[in-house]
Structure 1
Amino acid sequence: MSLIKAPPLPLVFLLMIHGGFSDDADRGVSYSPSHICALKNSSVIMSCTYTYPTEYEIEKVFWTKTKDNEDPPDLSEDPEYSQRIQYLGDNKQKICTIRLSHVTLKDSHEYYFRFITNECQCSRGYTGVPGVTLTVTDLQVESPERVTEGDSVRLTCKSSCTLTDRATFIWYRNSQPLTERRDRNNELLLQSVRREDAGRYSCAVHGHNHISPAVQLNVTYPPKSVSVSISPSGEIVSGDSVTLNCSSDSNPPAEIYWYKGGTFVGSGRIYRISKISSDDSGEYKCRSINEHGEKYSDAVTLNVMYPPKSVSVSISPSGEIVSGDSVTLSCSSDSNPPAEISWFKGGTFVGSGRIHRISKIRSDDSGEYKCRSINEHGEKYSDAVTLNVMYPPKSVSVSISPSGEIVSGDSVTLNCSSDSNPPAEISWFKGGMFVGSGRIFNISKISSDDSGEYKCKARNRHGEKYSDAVTLNVMYPPRNVSVLINGSGEIVSGDSVTLICSSDSNPPALNFSWFKENESSAVGSGQSFSALQSGRFYCQAHNQHGSQRSDAVTVTVHHGDGINVIVITASSGGLFIFIIIIIIFIIAMGTPPLPRMGLGPRQVCGKPKHSLHMGSSESWLSYA
């Protein structure tokens, strides 16, 4: 083999030789040590020296893995070794040391040094047996698969053989060196292990690049750092889809349960609410639980925004409301954010705010009230409520139908109008006399007797009130038409007697006509008439509603020297005969007129003159 002077080595195992000589006293190979435990991927120095008789010369030296003397293979010519083996020997010094780099597990074997001298062909080759036994080892970390937080744990960096050189061990967690854990002990002690100690642990020997395969240390612990996040994180409006996520640090992973208030609502790390509504508002929290314990998150508030709903109005006091009371209307509205409240009577705005107060309420305040609740998400009106204010009668009045002139025989209706709550009972009075009840007072075929002042009284449990009186003025045509006699003194031929026409009518008769019986044409007009001749006379009274004639009266003029007598009679029957008898009796007796029977003295031409008035027939007797 070629002899190459090796450069200074960085870091190798220095292997000291113990024995290993051949049986020949003058030939032999010594290896120090004869057993080497080397770390995988490290460089190994196999130190050796040899002896041979000085009368010979060395023709070839090499290392081999075969102790057979029959042409063993040279490692320097083996492709697996040629690039990794370096001869460090010196034939003059009889040093046969080599360095084998990047050793692998396959390199574990017994190696031999062989030299060939220029002796006779049969015995010139010599192999140092036994050789150097190389064991290449890997590093393995031993640890429990799972520990619980708070426990003590021991990790061991193990090899299949004891490393030849005393090593300093280095520990790694998650590929990061634990500088505080460098020592000559191949054990790593973690006292009161924490969850932060969990990870992948590996070990190495200081000065070597080889790191053991990592072993996972699993630290179990109860849940901690439990919290809830809400998505979306901004304002949530009814109808949105909302996701609640429970974050929990635990080992093993915890089971998650969800609560709204104290009520269980679901499980799993994610809790979704699609088309959220106001009913979903509230405080939510999750419970994280595993075999080591449990922990609740802090509560988070799910504040769902929504337009007004369930808008209603309540009235206080809730019973009967009487004018003068104080009344409060309250608007109840469910909305988020809280709504602004407006009040309406009918369609008219009357105020704002959740409370609408009316002090000393009046009948004018009666009506339908509703409130409007509005926020940025919408608006809603309440149903209308009726404010029914009770009050005593007022504005009591009477109307007459027909409203114009009323004529006897007409049908007349008196209507009592009254503003009251509850509706009033109506009573009717003519003058001070009760004449009927009910809002309507009907008079069919009215007569003059129905004329007068009428009023109604409206009464309910809160009070009473009379209307102003109205006058019922019944128009009717003349009736009870009669003739009255007006005259004085003694009537002689050429004198006259005055007749006066009397009648009952409304309006009063203004047109009067006088007639002589059996004549078609009027003989006079006006309320009075002067009769100049004998005959039967009557009057006729007129107004716009009709006319009526009186009974006829008889006027008689007598011509004589002594006594001129005018006899006036209303009829030609027995009364007339009676009057003639009286006249004859008076003439025969030649006595003054009787003082009784309605006779009164009248003076005509200085002589006593008497007249006789008898009853309603209005007959007048004149004598001289």
Structure 2
Amino acid sequence: MVREGDRQLTEWSDAVTLTVRSDKPRATLTADRTVIPLGGSITLTCSVDGSDDWKFDWFRNGRQYSVGRIRGNTEPYRVISVSEGGVYSCRGGRERGGGGGDPVFQTETSNEVPIQKTVSKPTVTLQPTWPVIYRGETVTLRCEIQDDGGTQWTYEWRPTNRNSPTSSEYRINRVSEYDNGEYRCKAKRGRQLTDWSDAFRLTVRSDKPRATVTAHRTTIPAGGSVTLSCSVEGSGDWKFDWFRNGQQYPVDQIRVISVSEGGEYSCRGQRGNPVFQTEKSREVSIQKTGNRPTPSLTAKNYNIPAGGSVALSCSVRGSAGWRFDWFRQESVHHSAQSIRNNESSGTISVSNEGVYSCRGGRGDPVFYTETSSEVTIQKTVPITPTVIQQPNWSQIYRGEKVTLRCEIQGGTQWTYEWRTTNRNSPSSSEYRITADSSGDYGCRGRRDRFTLTEWRVIRLNVSSPKPQPVLSVSPSWLNPGASVTLSCEVKHQDAGWRFFWYKAVSKLISSSYSLELLPGSTNGTEQNSFIIQGQNHTAGFVCRAGRGEPEFYTYYSEPKFVWSADSHPAASLSVSPDRVQHVIDQPVTLKCSGNDTKWRVRRFTDTTSPSHVQCSNWGTMHGSSCTINRLWYHSGVYWCESESGEFSNAVNITVQGRMLLLFPVLKTFLFHYTCKYCKHNPLLSSVSNIVCFSGTFKKMNKENKGIKIFCLLNPRSSAFIPSSWLSLFLTVSSPVSPSSPLLLIIGPISGIILIIFLLLL
């Protein structure tokens, strides 16, 4: 401190650097988790990077969230615990000065964090609540949430191997053993969601149940009755049909009945919608005690054909002299009425439907037998239904879905009967089946208990296995940038197929290809051809076809390839020796190069199957090179495939047994064959294994700028044939001096390749 008289001054303080950032900070919100467990809470933390002394405001669903409602908060409200779902954010604030009411400086509002709340745990129930489910029945799984308030939920199911719905009910039509498994559900509503329910195990029995009939006794006392009971073991909710002597017995569909007539009794259970029926029970024989005999009533046919009749016979065993009374019941709403009396013959012919019975009598006064067992006679009306197959494809494959529809002209209400092989048939006009094997399917209509239409039978032809299409490509060899046409052929081409097109992608870990749908092929094409524009490189393609709902797919076709001779930096193939024609005994090396380090060499030939096998099947692979030591049956097209899926240029290699024609495999050339005489050419006498080369050189002229070389391959052979003579025409790009005949072949300006014909001795 410095004093001057009465004045006092201090020294200057040390400097303090004030740094002001131009950007406005943004608060950051983090959550320890984003789903609130049932009855719990989660922790939210708000912070501002690089600074402190902040207090924080909280927001939920865009509105300020009162900290008084927040449980477990800490000053200055940086960390809070919440138990409500919603979208949360926060904002920091602090006074601009040292206090004293200066205005508050606020950050930007933080990022929003959606929080979901678990509200309850649903329960999966089965409807109907049968303890045992059989193959072919229809069941519904229901996801039930307590106290849901009637608000719409979106549901998620986790069944075994099945696409699940988004509703609370999960209906499975005609269950099978493939539907066995555990089923769970959960639901979501806004920012609320439930836990997964406990697993509900659905067990489907593959066997068809058989009803069981029991009788408390098997002999009806005089003037009495016996009680019959029908049951299905291990399950309930059944209604029961009763049968006597093979005909339906007109009683209610109840489990226990009383009968006072002798006969062979059986029963059958049914339940559900659509109706599922058990097998018929075994028959129980009930005998009636009395002094009077019971006649036997038989029918040669229980169904009266249209415009015809059937014969009924009534007889009393072991005695004679009887005359017969006949009775007919027109419908279930009427009692039996007498139609003929005191008939001397025990046989009558009837042309009307109904329930028939008979009684014998003899003597004076007349002694009557018991009334016979009843026989139900049905009548066929002259109406033949029409069976329509949808889709109406001439050939169906195993596994496809087919609907058969039975149509009957006229306004009468009909129920329907289907006659199939080893199947539970519906009683409706439509019969939806999964094709399994070829067979006849028949339908007829039933108007009441006694009236039927004719049968109409349709033949369903089912093929197995499913078809494999045949793919072809055109052209096989590319002109760079040209279009490529794919054609996919399936048997019965016009039968509703849509076609899907794929690119084959190399997989070095296996001999097969992975497949990628081509653009424009996601939903398939109606046409069985597909054009690819601008194809530049070798590529493989595959197709398959699909049809129906749900869609049924054929097998994939075998891959087909379009080849390009042009190499490219990503993948290229070179051949050593560098020529197209090779002899059997000389090794050939195929080398792959490009952007990858792992390669395989493949080929296509007309003699091997499968044709696109890889080097390990016919050669030796060392790194990126494939060596073929002996060229038996190896003529074909060769190419490289890389680990990343690139295809190289393709090379066409020809194997010759007696002759070798040399020219580089990647150059353009023109040649043709003729038969000419050959003389020895001293210019090439130093080359080994040459019998002769070039008998005549023609001067190049302005018109053709070319030369012809004629050669006899083996003039010493006794088996001389015209095909042993050869001539080759070479095109050159500029005139060559006639005084230099060798330059006509290998002149440096023209760059013409050397052609040599060798004879293998």
> TM-score scaled to structure 1, two decimals?
0.28
Query: Larger C-alpha radius of gyration, 1 or 2?
Result: 1
Higher relative contact order (CA 8 A, sep 6+): 1
Bigger proportion of residues as strand: 1
